Amino acid sequence: MKFHALAGACVLGLAAGGAMAETTITVATVNNGDMIRMQGLMDDFYAAHPDIKVNWVTMEENVLRQKVTTDVATKAGQYDVMTIGTYEVPIWGKQGWLVPLDDLPDSYDVNDLLPAIRSGLTLDDHLYALPFYGESSFTMYRKDLMEKAGLTMPEDPTWGDIEKAAAAMTDKEAGIYGICLRGKAGWGENMAFLSAMDNSMGGRWFDMDWNPQFNTPEWKDTLTTYLTLMNEYGPPGASSNGFNENLALFQQGKCGMWMDATVAASFVTNPKDSKVADQVGFAMAPHKDGVAKNGNWLWAWTLAIPAGTQKEEAAKTFIEWATSKEYTALVASKEGWANVPPGTRTSLYENPDYTSAAPFADLTLKSINAADPKNPSVQEVPYTGVQFVAIPEFQAIGTAVGQQFSAALAGQISADQALQNAQALTEREMKKAGYIK
């Protein structure tokens, strides 16, 4: 009897492979609204390409990053298309892990891609990934609270303006905190915000000889301003807040201002989930008085093809479709202009249908254009990336530094101590990796 059960299990196991006629490509993707929407609109693609079938594997961001990195590094070949960010593209392109996308058809109109985004995906004049969705960060604020405080938000505020507004809006008795910012440790969490903020203070991660810069006045300025804002006017327990926690706080009317990803704009203005939907105003991410860089980052989710896939042609056909103008028009016709994936093409921001459906479109575009991955700071840098440094070692270093800053926010160590620790640990890792001789 047991033998029957085993035989049954084996047969089922072997049957899992299955037989398929057409070319099936497996796409590894991240769980975000725009990607999920595409999975529901695949009929249009299948109608035009009946010989291609797409298998979706949806994952949470950290799991996705871990799995696609292992897969591409070992050439395991489980995926034919990978969803990767602007952090991975230059590193992987350099390693020869991605198929260069040089022969795009004219109809794709590659010159329509936003220059800031395209430049982050290009290495030695080869484009290595096509952007599906792009974002920057900006300031979201409560118009009603600003009015009550008798203030107006400039379109391009300084950190001084932000502090003044935070002080005026904070009413802890009523559970309203002037400012909500990321505090959770991680290279893509608090360090995304703080690295971009440091750019706006005139600072940088490394000098031209790859020496870490945490001992400079710019980083001290960054961390002390951040800690003052959060300790005086921020919500309690902020050292564990990430995007979602702050989103929930803002939607429930507990934050006066929130600086985070531009994608948040569509969430906080959606009356279904947000109590303050009609009261949200937008401004650029702040900068220090006299510094010509704003503290906004640049990120894009892109579709790339791992080198060595057997199904390169089908994969190319798919990613060209998914990032095309036609796909944008398709989403608009089925789900409305407010739901099209933003931040990749100039033509979208010239389209009056879109700009009237998305009141935050203008500032999103300005923010994206204000970020330059090749020149993130007013000082010269040896790396690519605004809120990250595109070297393989950065994930570990960024997270370790983020833990120091998160501990400073929680009051476990002083700002000076956190900066000293950050400097020491970054120096150690960079020496070990051979950047500093």
Partner 1 sequence: MARRVSTRRRVIVTALAWAMAFLIFFPILWTFLTSFKTEGEAVATPPHFLFFNWTLENYIEVNERSDYFLHFMNSVVISVGSTVLGLIIAIPAAWSMAFVPGKRTKDVLMWMLSTKMLPPVGVLIPIFLLFKNTGLMDTRTGLVIILTLINLPIIVWMLYTYFKEIPGEILEAARMDGAGLREEVIHILTPMAVPGIASTLLLNVILAWNEAFWTLNLTAANAAPLTAFIASYSSPEGLFYAKLSAASMMAIAPILILGWFSQKQLVRGLTFGAVK
Establish if 243 lies at the interface with partner 1 (CB under 8 A).
yes
Site for partner 1 in 271-300 (CB under 8 A): 272-274
* Of positions 12, 19, 21, 47, contacts partner 1 by CB under 8 A: 12
> Which of 207, 232, 242, 338 is close enough to bind partner 1 by CB under 8 A?
242
Query: How many of the other CB atoms lie within 10 Å of CB of 310?
Result: 11
Give ∠ CA 271-277-282 in degrees, rounded to 5: 145
Q: Which one of residues 41, 42, 49, 67 is an interface residue with partner 1 (CB under 8 A)?
A: 67
**Binding of residue 310 to partner 1 (CB under 8 A):** no
Cα pseudo-dihedral 165, 236, 31, 305, rounded to 10 = 70
CA distance linking residue 235 with residue 175, whole number of Å: 9
Is 396 one of the binding residues for partner 1 (CB under 8 A)?
no
DSSP 134-201: EEEEEEEEEHHHHHHTT----SS-BHHHHHHHHHHH-BGGGTBEEEE---S-STTTHHHHHHHHHHHT
Nearer to partner 1, 128 or 267 (CB): 267
* Residues 27, 43: Cα–Cα separation, whole Å: 16
- Residue 48 touching partner 1 (CB under 8 A): no
Q: What whole-number distance in Å separates Cα of residue 91 and Cα of residue 17?
A: 34
Minimum CB distance to partner 1 smaller for 59 or for 357: 59
Report how far residue 300's alpha carbon sits from residue 166's, in angstroms, rounded to the nearest whole number: 30
Position among 41, 44, 49, 61 found at the interface with partner 1 (CB under 8 A): 61
Identify the CA nearest to 92 among candidates 110, 108, 70: 70
User: Which amino acid, residue 97?
Assistant: W
Provide the minimum distance between the beta carbon of 216 and partner 1 in the complex, in angstroms, as a whole number.
Answer: 30
Q: What are phi and psi of 125, to 5 degrees?
A: 65, 10
Q: What letter would DSSP give residue 158?
A: B
| Site membership for partner 1, residue 309 (CB under 8 A) | no
Q: How far is the CB of 25 from partner 1 (least distance, A)?
A: 10
# chain residues binding partner 1, by CB under 8 A: 50
Stretches 51-59, 153-161, 306-314, 339-347: which one binds partner 1 (CB under 8 A)? Answer: 51-59
244 binds partner 1 (CB under 8 A): yes
List 22, 40, 172, 335, residue binding partner 1 (CB under 8 A): 40
CA pair distance 57, 423, nearest whole angstrom: 39
**Binding to partner 1 by residue 149, rule CB under 8 A?**
no
* Cβ–Cβ < 8 Å for 284, 157: yes
Q: Are 371 and 179 in contact (CB under 8 A)?
A: no
In the complex, the smallest distance separating the C-beta of residue 346 from partner 1, rounded to whole angstroms, is: 24
For residues 204 and 235, give the distance between their C-alpha atoms in angstroms, rounded to a whole number: 28
CB of 274 to partner 1, least distance (A): 8
Query: What SS3 state is found at 399?
Result: helix
Which positions from 170 to 209 touch partner 1 by CB under 8 A, shown as an x/- string?
Answer: ------------------x---------------------
Q: Does 414 bind partner 1 (CB under 8 A)?
A: no
The DSSP element (H or E) to which 135 belongs, if any, is: strand 130-142
With CB under 8 A as the contact rule, which of the stretches 119-127, 240-248, 289-297, 349-357 interacts with partner 1? 240-248
Answer yes or no whether residue 409 interacts with partner 1 by CB under 8 A. no
Q: Measured between alpha carbons, how far apart are the two ends of the chain, in Å?
A: 68
Give the x-and-dash track for 15-34 against partner 1 (CB under 8 A).
-xxx-------x-x-xxxx-
* C-alpha torsion 147→149→153→158, nearest 10: 180
Closest contact distance (angstroms) between CB of 260 and partner 1 is 9
Q: Output the smallest distance, CB 394 to partner 1, in A.
A: 18
Among 10, 110, 208, 396, binds partner 1 (CB under 8 A): 10
Q: What share of the chain is helix, strand, coil (3-state, %, to 5)?
A: 50, 15, 35
DSSP state of 239: G
- Single-letter amino acid code for the residue at 181: L
Nearer to partner 1, 63 or 208 (CB): 63
User: Which positions lie near partner 1, rule CB under 8 A?
Assistant: 2, 5-6, 9-10, 12-14, 16-18, 26, 28, 30-33, 36, 39-40, 55-63, 67, 70, 74, 76, 78-79, 188, 242-244, 247-248, 251-252, 261, 263-264, 267, 272-274
